[in-house]
Amino acid sequence: MAYSDKVIDHYNHPRNVGSLDKSDPNVGTGMVGAPECGDVMKLQVKVNPATGVIEDAKFKTFGCGSAIASSSLATEWLRGKTVDEALAIKNTDIVTELSLPPVKIHCSVLAEDAIKAAITDYKKKAAPVTSEAARV
Amino acid sequence: MKLPIYMDNHATTPVDPRVFEAMRPYLTNIFGNSASRNHSFGWEAEEATEKARKQVASLIGATSKEIVFTSGATESNNLALKGVAEMYAEKGNHIITAATEHKAILDTCKRLEKHGTRVTYLPVQQNGLVDLDQLRMAITDKTVLISIMHANNEIGVLQPIREIGKIAKERGVLLHTDGTQAAGKIPVSVLDDNIDLMSISAHKMYGPKGVGALYVRRRNPRVQLTAQMDGGGHERGMRSGTLNVPGIVGLGEACALAQAEMPAESKRLAFLRDKLKERLMNSLDEVYINGTLEHRLPNNLNISFAYVEGESLLMGINEIAVSSGSACTSATLEPSYVLKALGAGDDLAHSSIRFGLGRFNTEEEVDYVAGKVIEVVKKLRELSPLYEMFKEGIDLTKVQWTAH
């Protein structure tokens, strides 16, 4: 399979690889996928509680080159966005940016899911009472 | 040393220059139809195919009249299974095969099932080998054929063909073996192993693509097949179609070379394979060999690098041609059914790489490949959330994953 230049670039030079402190109340962690499916993404955001802006984003991905590129690109896009802006990122934006072929669309879906999971986790931590109430 | 390096010799092999030279006259001046009985053009072609028939027969301890030329092992497998099922339909309608067979066997069985044949797919043990007791128990009075491959194309394990042959003989059942990967790589004797039918391919042993053979036993017992293609009644009526003379000459020469060079070459390949394995296992943790090392082709290494996904590894070693059991490398999005059949878990199937060493690989290439794989696996583990969790002591089997 031929990879687009952008996928190759993210694969060779992944942006924002690493981990943030999970116990930090301003850090949201999303982990999606499963080893038996061949891809697992961990995506973390660190939010400034005063402004609601994502100040840092990190990822680690087990998966094919397109999965690595999708999550690497996601962290680039997340930095500097507000939480609400981040939730507006769609998997189709990732498909377009990386020129993913149809068989790799699930990689972009996984990246969108990871963003949503990380932000949900942050919101839960930031307002435990509200989310508790919401659950009831 | 030149890049890229080809180390995918279970998929196909390059044509040996000596094979090509043997074929050359038959692609140019000597063009006759070996079935033409009335002139020298036909006689020359026939002489060439009969020489090749002897060369093929010699490699597996058969006689030349037992060799039927085909277009390759897929056709040989189809002819063997369908031909036996049809010919022996009155005797019984049951075939036994194994879960790790090539698709040319499994899908042929699937088709036969649609036409009333009953097929038992034996599971394999974790080492990749069939359990002989399970085989014995699967045989019924309706069983006409056992088809078990000699060497597996993914993990290179060698099935206990001699023992299987004994069981088949005792129970009066025919034994077919897909010898695509084994022929020319390890010694094969159809007499000692009680093999009744055996499929062979030229392009897996440095011959050309598009030609192969089916060994069909003539004595004790005399195996009969119903032809699957109608036409001029070539190959003793078992396979019609004008013989592919240059291809057959190439197959014959490939067999002769493989037979002459096998003792030295299999030692050389085993040395290179073991060197590759040692270097990978000494430099990396959490590395698993798929299938038994004890009963294995000398040129095969199928290995899983836990917590690293196979396709991403292939991408990092893109100047080395190998293959992966990962789903992402295939159109089906399903990881290798062979590795799944070993029960190793889908995650290790996704992390597997198959190295297939060949006649033209050098020690320098093996050193380069080992170094490059180690470098890329380390890089990808830095990227892997699973490796991080493993290092933190988290049991990954206890994590609640969000399967998708």
Supply the ipTM of this predicted assembly.
0.91
Collapsing DSSP states into helix, strand and coil, what is residue A41?
Answer: strand
First to last CA, chain B: 43
**Cβ within 8 Å of A, B 176-205:** none
**Do the Cβ atoms of B309 and A103 come within 8 Å?**
no
Interface test with A, best of B314, B376, B389, B401 (most A CBs within 10 A): B401
CA distance B26 to B19: 12
CA distance A67 to A64: 5
Name the nearest CA neighbour of B402 among A31, A90, A118: A31
**Do the Cβ atoms of A17 and B383 come within 8 Å?**
yes
CA distance B269 to A19: 43
Helix axes A65-78, A105-126, angle to 10 degrees: 40
**Do the Cβ atoms of A62 and B315 come within 8 Å?**
no
Cross-chain CB nearest to A38 (options B326, B382, B396): B326
Find where tokens 């002989």 sit.
Answer: B132
* B356 in Cβ contact with B298 (< 8 Å): no
Please report the DSSP string for B353-384 in residue order: EEEE--TT--HHHHHHHHHHHHHHHHHHHHH-
**Do the Cβ atoms of B346 and A63 come within 8 Å?**
no
CA distance A54 to A47: 4
For residue A136, what pLDDT is reported?
A: 43
CA distance A32 to chain B (A): 6
**Do the Cβ atoms of A38 and B350 come within 8 Å?**
yes
Q: How confident is the model at residue A42 (pLDDT cuts 50, 70, 90)?
A: very high
Domain boundaries, chain A: 5-125
What are the angstrom distances between the C-alpha of B83 and each of B87, B102, B147, B224, B377? 6, 18, 13, 8, 47
CA distance B367 to chain A (A): 23
pTM for this structure? 0.93
- Assess whether pLDDT exceeds 90 at residue A130: no
Strand pairing partners for B256?
none
CA distance B293 to chain A (A): 25
Q: What is the pLDDT of residues A56-80, one digit of tens each?
A: 999 999 999 999 999 999 999 999 9
Collapsing DSSP states into helix, strand and coil, what is residue B200?
Answer: strand
CA distance B275 to B268: 11
- Minimal-distance CA residue of chain B relative to A18: B383
For residue B74, what pLDDT is reported?
A: 98
**Which residue ranges in chain B fall short of pLDDT 50?**
none
**Cβ within 8 Å of A, B 281-320:** 307-309, 311-312, 315-316
* B335 in Cβ contact with A38 (< 8 Å): yes
**Do the Cβ atoms of B383 and A32 come within 8 Å?**
no
CB contacts of B326 in chain A (<8 Å) are 38, 64
Q: Half-sphere exposure of B305 toward its Cβ, with a 13 Å CA cutoff?
A: 30
Q: How confident is the model at residue A131 (pLDDT cuts 50, 70, 90)?
A: very low
CB contacts of A34 in chain B (<8 Å) are 401-404
**Cβ within 8 Å of B, A 14-53:** 14, 17, 19, 31-42
DSSP B35: T
| A/B interface, count of CB pairs below 8 Å | 89
For residue B404, what pLDDT is reported?
A: 61
- Assess whether pLDDT exceeds 50 at residue A134: no
| From A27, A45, A67, A107, active-site residue | A107
**Which residues lie below 8 Å from residue B275, measured CB to CB, with a gap of 6+?**
B363, B366, B367, B370
**Do the Cβ atoms of A32 and B404 come within 8 Å?**
yes
- Assess whether pLDDT exceeds 80 at residue A13: yes
Q: How confident is the model at residue A128 (pLDDT cuts 50, 70, 90)?
A: low
B400 touches chain A (CB under 8 A): no
For residue B217, what pLDDT is reported?
A: 98
For residue B335, what pLDDT is reported?
A: 85
Neighbours of B174 (CB within 10 A): 24
**Which residues lie below 8 Å from residue B37, measured CB to CB, with a gap of 6+?**
none
For residue A55, what pLDDT is reported?
A: 97
For residue B237, what pLDDT is reported?
A: 95
Collapsing DSSP states into helix, strand and coil, what is residue B124?
Answer: strand
- Minimal-distance CA residue of chain A relative to B334: A37
| Rounded average pLDDT over A122-129 | 80
Collapsing DSSP states into helix, strand and coil, what is residue B326?
Answer: coil
Q: In chain B, what are the domains?
A: 5-9+262-398 (3.90.1150.10), 17-258 (3.40.640.10)
Query: For A5-125, CATH number?
Result: 3.90.1010.10
Number of helices (H), then strands (E), in chain A: 6, 3
Q: In degrees to the nearest 10, what's the CA dihedral of B112, B117, B123, B128?
A: -50
Which structure tokens are listed for A59?
A: 């990822």
Specify whether A64 is catalytic: no
Name the nearest CA neighbour of B343 among B395, B308, B291, B300: B291
